[in-house]
Amino acid sequence: MFSSLKKAVVLLTFVFMTASAFGHSHGHLMIDDGWVKASLPGSKMSSGFVTITNHGKHDDQLIAAYSDIAKQTELHSMEMHDGVMHMRAVKQGWLIAAGNTLELMPGGKHIMFMGLTTKLEAGDKVKITLEFAQAGKIEKTFMVKKVDAGHHMHDDHQDHDHHQNKDKKKQHKHEHKHEHKH
């Protein structure tokens, strides 16, 4: 009897350790590596990134994100068109087909935080709610990370207010455009 109990404890320990090593699972979705870029002094914008894997048999879709760290939170994408980088709000979100992974990463798809309500410092943890068509709303904790000063990312929205400094826009080799599709 003692041997059976010991085997059960070892098995349960293995199951929990394996699950925690691979991230946080929510039903059919595995949500990993959530992080938000630390804000620069005076900046009112930031962006967030995460990896979402659909282990289910049916497609799902990331349709929105919410957070108290900003007045407005949207899903955005960065795309190169005719040598110019464009940022667009993505109202319909992104499909996560069964068995596939959606990666929100610098220079591509991301969560945009506009009108920050708090300063985001490296090491902070912030709550972000992701909304899915099938799985519903899932709240996650994202780490705030500092991006190296010498590392320029195309989603570096600290320079988002181009219209305030036209000379700066001429020097900057890409532009951001908000194209909200209705």
pTM above 0.95, yes or no: no
Task: Decide if 132 contacts 62 (C-beta within 8 A).
Answer: yes
CA gap 85, 77 in Å, rounded:
10
The confidence score (pLDDT) of residue 86 equals 87
Amino acid of residue 84: V
**Domain edges within the chain:** 24-147
Secondary structure class of 168 (helix, strand, coil): helix
76 neighbors 112 (Cβ within 8 angstroms) = yes
Q: Token digits for 29?
A: 């979705």
Regions in the chain scoring below 50 on pLDDT = 8-23, 150-182
Res 159: pLDDT: 39
Quick one: CATH architecture of 24-147?
A: Sandwich (2.60)
Return the pLDDT at 8.
44
pLDDT tens digit sequence for 71-111: 999 999 998 889 898 899 999 999 999 999 999 999 999 99
- The per-residue pLDDT of the chain, averaged, comes to 78
Kindly give, in sequence order, each residue whose CB lies less than 8 Å from that of residue 159, ignoring residues fewer than 6 positions away.
168, 172
- CA–CA distance, 154 with 66 (Å, rounded to integer): 23
Residue 11's pLDDT is 44
Token reading at 65:
């994100």
